[in-house]
A and B are shown apart, each in its own frame.
Chain A
Amino acid sequence: MKKLLALILALSLITVLAGCGTDTTTEADTTPDTAVETPEATEPVAEATATEIEGTVTISGSTSVEKVGLGLAEEFMALNPSVTVTYESIGSSGGVKNANEGVTMIGTASREIKDTEKEWGMTEAVIAFDGIAVAVNPANGVTEITKDQVAAIYKGEITNWSEVGGADEDIVVVSREDGSGTRGAFEEILDFEGALTVNALIAEGNGNVQTTVASNPQAIGYISFSTINNTIVALKVDGAEATMENVLNQTFPISRPFNIVYHDANLSDAAKAFVEFIFTAEGQAVVEEKGGIPVK
């Protein structure tokens, strides 16, 4: 009986292994095709830059900058196939710290660089602007709010939706974890740093705020423009819709810069080229495509 079982197991193992073998050959079949395609795609660029760029670019920082950062990284890698760009989402403070300590070449922050961080003497550059949307559940009914009301809600001075034109329900305030660039920027713009109501729910990351608001009709949260989708409603603030145009013409009051910081000495040649690429027309087009607001 046991022998029979062993035999069956051995047979099935062989079949599985054989299956693996077939897989590998199919992969091998397809690989040359892509390899042929890539040089064609990059040919014009090779002409333009004349010299081939090689190496790695390491970036870490804000979760809000992730979409734009990854978009730029992908585009840059497509143009320069021998370059590897990595983006690690660890939050603005962590990114700036990493850039200073040389853990990664470039750090990103979705807020102004703080005075304590400026003392580290890094080069800073704004690569894009972003709006922070104030989001509620579609079932909530409130569509408009003022900047002062948002601040009052987050400070715990307004606690009921009826005070801002909604139903007679307690407001569930959703904020981000301490150190988040979105939270830092939001508190700074609305001028309530260190005064967040103790009743606030703390959700980790833009995605969690969105999920929390999307599943709770009484919740209010704030998220980066780039993560707005149809599960939530972005409120008009001071009469302005949460759109890129309104950030640029400065009618939408809650906006912030996306910064990159680096020590010049830490940049590899590839990283220098990457930084230049960000500010080209192509780079800024990627920024816009990924939901950021271009600076040029």
Chain B
Amino acid sequence: MANNSTDMRANKKREFTELVAKYIFMFNATIAIISVVAIASFVFYKGLQPFFPGNAEGTYNFFDFITGLEWRPSDDPSQAKYGILFMIVGSIYATFGAILMGVPIGVLTAVFISEVAPKPVKMIVKPAVELLAGIPSVLYGVFGLGIIVPKIMTLSPQNQGQSLLAVMLVLTIMILPTVITISESAINAVPESYREGSLGLGASKIQTIFKVILPAAKSGILTGVVLGIGRAIGETMAVMLVAGNPIAGIPTEIWDKTRPLTTNIAMEMSYAFGLHQEMLFSTGVVLFTFIIIINLILNRLTHKVGEN
């Protein structure tokens, strides 16, 4: 009898600990969810206000906003222009360029690390990539301003180095760690039997890599690409220093200056008030929408990987 009650007490105690642990986990998970909901509702609430009639700070036509080619805030509402199409295009170009250059470099680096490199070399390359991921983004910007921009200035037909190309190059370096790390895990996850089978059939190592391993790791690599896009489109500090940030003009060549959506917000938020500030939140809404789309794509991709 006595024995039994000790058991029960032990059980009770265990149940209690389990319950406490469960709530601690839940509490922590709630913080993330609350943050995301709070940020999203705040940005959308502030950013959508100017497009509805009766807004205290003044209104602005949504169509003019999304198709406008000039950003010229003014205290006089009739003079102010808040067009962001040239920024949307700039952001997309910059991201696209970074992906175009960064993905091949990243995927080939991943192949090198996991398939080709001898162990001592791997021991150098891998930590280097990890370190690259840890460098604060403003330092990428300083590097871009000190090295890349002057170099581009000497090559460019225009007289300044701040350009779409500079942004692309900085972003290329910045997305490398993401692309490399995720591609590498995808390649490592390809079953050893695939390699053995391919080599056994007489295929060379290079043929095996390109015809068997990379196709098998496709979904994982795509996930890396999408995460790279997310990183590139959201990057702010590094880009601000090398973009040139003009107040108008869709970039038509890589030597042109560009003003990505993120830098528009970061540069002016501390100064802005009234309608100007709300329009910066509207820029944030557009950026947020991009990120949501990217995340939806990412979800689809990771589901696919799960099925495989």
> Contact size class for B?
20 to 34
Contact with A along B131-172 (1 / 0, CB 8 A): 000000000000001000110010000111110000000000
Which of A114, A180, A201 interacts with B160 by CB under 8 Å? A201
Most buried by A among B159, B240, B268, B271: B271
**A residues within 8 Å of B by Cβ?**
90-94, 97, 114, 116, 169-172, 177-180, 194, 196, 198-204, 208, 211-212, 215-216, 218-219
Contact with A along B169-212 (1 / 0, CB 8 A): 00000000000000000000000000000000000000000000
Say whether B75 faces chain A, with CB atoms less than 8 Å apart: yes
**Prevailing SS type, chain A contact patch:** loop
A169-B240 contact, Cβ under 8 Å, with A180-B271, A211-B145:
no
Identity of the chain A residue whose Cβ is nearest the Cβ of B259 in the assembled complex: A202
A91-B160 contact, Cβ under 8 Å, with A198-B70, A201-B245:
no
Once the chains are docked, how many angstroms separate the CA of A200 from the CA of B259? 11
CB <8 Å contact, A93 and B244: no
CB <8 Å contact, B160 and A200: no
Once the chains are docked, how many angstroms separate the CA of A208 from the CA of B266? 15
Which of B75, B249, B257 interacts with A114 by CB under 8 Å? B75
Once the chains are docked, how many angstroms separate the CA of A116 from the CA of B275? 13
- Distance in angstroms from A62 CB to nearest chain B CB is 10
CB <8 Å contact, B159 and A97: no
In the bound complex, residues from chain A placing their C-beta under 8 Å from that of B272 are 93, 178-179
Q: For residues 242 through 267 of chain B, which have their beta carbon under 8 Å from a beta carbon of chain A?
A: 244-249, 257, 259, 267
CB <8 Å contact, A178 and B270: no
In the bound complex, residues from chain B placing their C-beta under 8 Å from that of A196 are 72, 247
Once the chains are docked, how many angstroms separate the CA of A198 from the CA of B259? 12
In the bound complex, residues from chain A placing their C-beta under 8 Å from that of B72 are 178, 194, 196
- Distance in angstroms from A90 CB to nearest chain B CB is 5
In the bound complex, residues from chain B placing their C-beta under 8 Å from that of A171 are 159
Once the chains are docked, how many angstroms separate the CA of A177 from the CA of B244? 11
A208-B241 contact, Cβ under 8 Å, with A172-B160, A201-B162:
yes
CB <8 Å contact, A200 and B247: yes
User: Can you spell out 26 A-B residue pairs with CB atoms less than 8 angstroms apart?
Assistant: A91-B270, A94-B270, A94-B273, A97-B273, A114-B75, A169-B159, A170-B159, A177-B245, A177-B268, A177-B271, A178-B267, A178-B272, A179-B268, A179-B270, A194-B72, A194-B79, A196-B72, A196-B247, A200-B247, A201-B244, A201-B246, A203-B245, A208-B241, A211-B145, A219-B159, A219-B160
In the bound complex, residues from chain A placing their C-beta under 8 Å from that of B249 are 198-199
What 12 new A-B contacts, CB under 8 Å, besides A178-B272, A200-B246, A204-B267?
Answer: A94-B270, A177-B271, A179-B73, A179-B272, A196-B247, A198-B246, A198-B249, A199-B257, A201-B162, A201-B245, A202-B247, A216-B160
Which of A172, A179, A211 interacts with B271 by CB under 8 Å? A179
Say whether B289 faces chain A, with CB atoms less than 8 Å apart: no
CB <8 Å contact, A218 and B159: yes
Once the chains are docked, how many angstroms separate the CA of A180 from the CA of B268? 9
CB <8 Å contact, B271 and A93: yes
In the bound complex, residues from chain A placing their C-beta under 8 Å from that of B75 are 114, 116
Say whether B299 faces chain A, with CB atoms less than 8 Å apart: no
- Distance in angstroms from B280 CB to nearest chain A CB is 10
Most buried by B among A114, A169, A172: A172
Once the chains are docked, how many angstroms separate the CA of A211 from the CA of B276? 28
CB <8 Å contact, B158 and A170: yes
Once the chains are docked, how many angstroms separate the CA of A196 from the CA of B267? 17
In the bound complex, residues from chain A placing their C-beta under 8 Å from that of B67 are none
CB <8 Å contact, B257 and A201: yes
Say whether B74 faces chain A, with CB atoms less than 8 Å apart: yes
Identity of the chain A residue whose Cβ is nearest the Cβ of B160 in the assembled complex: A172
In the bound complex, residues from chain A placing their C-beta under 8 Å from that of B276 are 178-179
Most buried by B among A90, A91, A202, A219: A202
Identity of the chain A residue whose Cβ is nearest the Cβ of B149 in the assembled complex: A215
Identity of the chain B residue whose Cβ is nearest the Cβ of A88 in the assembled complex: B270
Contact with A along B48-81 (1 / 0, CB 8 A): 0000000000000000000000101111000100
In the bound complex, residues from chain B placing their C-beta under 8 Å from that of A215 are 149-150, 153
- Distance in angstroms from B76 CB to nearest chain A CB is 8
Identity of the chain A residue whose Cβ is nearest the Cβ of B73 in the assembled complex: A178
CB <8 Å contact, A177 and B267: yes
CB <8 Å contact, B162 and A178: no
Once the chains are docked, how many angstroms separate the CA of A91 from the CA of B267? 11
CB <8 Å contact, A202 and B244: yes
Once the chains are docked, how many angstroms separate the CA of A172 from the CA of B157? 13
CB <8 Å contact, A178 and B271: yes
CB <8 Å contact, A216 and B267: no
Identity of the chain B residue whose Cβ is nearest the Cβ of A89 in the assembled complex: B270
Q: Which 9 pairs show the lowest CB-CB distances between chains A and B?
A: A179-B271, A198-B248, A202-B245, A218-B159, A91-B271, A177-B267, A172-B160, A93-B271, A201-B244
- Distance in angstroms from A216 CB to nearest chain B CB is 6
Identity of the chain A residue whose Cβ is nearest the Cβ of B80 in the assembled complex: A194
Once the chains are docked, how many angstroms separate the CA of A295 from the CA of B252? 49
In the bound complex, residues from chain A placing their C-beta under 8 Å from that of B244 are 201-202
Identity of the chain B residue whose Cβ is nearest the Cβ of A177 in the assembled complex: B267
Once the chains are docked, how many angstroms separate the CA of A208 from the CA of B141? 12
CB <8 Å contact, B268 and A172: no
In the bound complex, residues from chain B placing their C-beta under 8 Å from that of A203 are 245
Identity of the chain B residue whose Cβ is nearest the Cβ of A93 in the assembled complex: B271
CB <8 Å contact, B247 and A198: yes
Once the chains are docked, how many angstroms separate the CA of A199 from the CA of B247? 8
Identity of the chain B residue whose Cβ is nearest the Cβ of A201 in the assembled complex: B244
CB <8 Å contact, B74 and A202: no
Once the chains are docked, how many angstroms separate the CA of A17 from the CA of B283? 49
